[in-house]
Amino acid sequence: MKMKDVNGISPCRLCKIKATQIPGDKNSDKNRTYYVPPSVDLTSLGRSHSELMAQADRVDKASTKVEAEALSKEFGVKGRSILSEVDSLSFPQSFPIDFMHVAWENLMKTLVTLWSGDYKGLGEGTRKYHLENATWKEVGARSGASSSTIPSAFGPHIPNVSEKGSYMSADMWSFWTQFLAPVLWRDSFKDPECYDHLIDLVYLFDLCLRREISAADINTIRAGFTKWVKGYSRWVQLVFTRYDVLTQNRIYYQGNPKRLPVCTLPIHTLLYLADCIEGWGPVWCYWSYSMERFCGHLKCGGC
């Protein structure tokens, strides 16, 4: 698509929300990552094909390289993609979100590094979401030990997450999040509402992964992720009534601009999963597993 993503002021390919760098960051020239603070209303921010193509043309027709780079950063577009020549494709509607990367390769890794106290040098701020070192090691050890009692047909072998988290594949994160984390993390947090927040996420992921998804499910997914990301303190009755939930905004971002690094683009992208499901079907219809496994097959010479 020739989008700049996190290196652009408009990093989201689906909407025109403006991202920002950390206020007062002395290394802003070197650190080109832009973060997306929680937004209150996204209804009027959708991007259209004609708008994206006009912006891409302005970048391509810039008179200097400096002007092109400035426009590219502002629009989040690096120029016209060759795929724009295909009449049946529409930008950005023909490019749904890849659930595999958003959920397993990004979001869960972010949450785990936050819990383990190893996220970009950030402390807890006003919340208590860091795990005790002993607790983190125990969760990791139990993750690794679980594979000896779970048939391989259910999923991949899970390593010790606290020691070998970097070896975790998307498939491992998927199985670990859905089936192990709800058990292993129970009673592990100092603030129990951090655990409730995790369980809400697992529930929403489960809805996204169903083989059949109803219109009511899509509404639940849309409302659920909106509240999980934005910072509301209560769920509407349509979703849950079992407890008050503290969301991503309140637990990790805490309304503090200095904590913008927790506001990653994949977290913002969750707001559009329902739209992609509505337009394209369940997330497994278009995620990257098939292509990445095929690429791996080619890499090893078709073995």
In whole angstroms, give the CA distance from residue 45 to residue 47.
7
* pLDDT score at 31: 59
- Cβ-count burial of 207 within 10 angstroms (0-12 exposed, 13-18 middle, 19+ buried)? buried
DSSP state of 46: B
Q: Which H or E run includes 206?
A: helix 192-208
- Which one is predicted more confidently, 296 or 142? 142
Q: Which amino acid is at 292?
A: E
**Strand, helix or coil at 131?**
coil
pLDDT in tens, 239-275: 333 333 334 557 888 878 888 888 888 988 998 999 9
Q: Distance of alpha carbon 20 from its chain centroid, rounded?
A: 18
Largest CA distance in the chain: 64
**Strand, helix or coil at 246?**
coil
Rounded mean pLDDT of 208-233? Answer: 84
* pLDDT score at 234: 32
* pLDDT score at 240: 37
Percent of the chain scoring above 90 in pLDDT: 47
DSSP string, 2-43: -B-GGGSSS--SSB-PPPBPPTT-TTTTT----B----S--T
Rg (CA), the chain: 20
Above 50 in pLDDT, residue 128?
A: yes
pTM, two decimals, is 0.84
* pLDDT score at 42: 64
Rounded mean pLDDT of 229-236? Answer: 44
DSSP string, 257-303: GGGGGGS-HHHHHGGGHHHHHHHH-SGGGS-SHHHHHHHHHHHTT--
Rounded mean pLDDT of 30-51? Answer: 75
In whole angstroms, give the CA distance from residue 158 to residue 23.
39
| Spatial contact of 66 and 51, defined as CB atoms under 8 Å apart | no
- For every residue of 141-167, which 3-state class applies, written as one string? HHHHHHHHHCCHHHCCCCCCHHHHHHH
- Alpha-carbon separation of residue 210 from 221, 231, 267 (angstroms): 12, 26, 21
- For every residue of 49-70, which 3-state class applies, written as one string? HHHHHHHHHHHHCCCCHHHHHH
As a whole number of Å, the end-to-end CA separation of the chain is 31
Rounded mean pLDDT of 229-243? Answer: 40
| Spatial contact of 53 and 93, defined as CB atoms under 8 Å apart | no
Q: Distance of alpha carbon 78 from its chain centroid, rounded?
A: 22
Above 50 in pLDDT, residue 151?
A: yes
Please name which of 111, 117, 49 lies closest in space to residue 266, comparing C-alpha atoms.
111
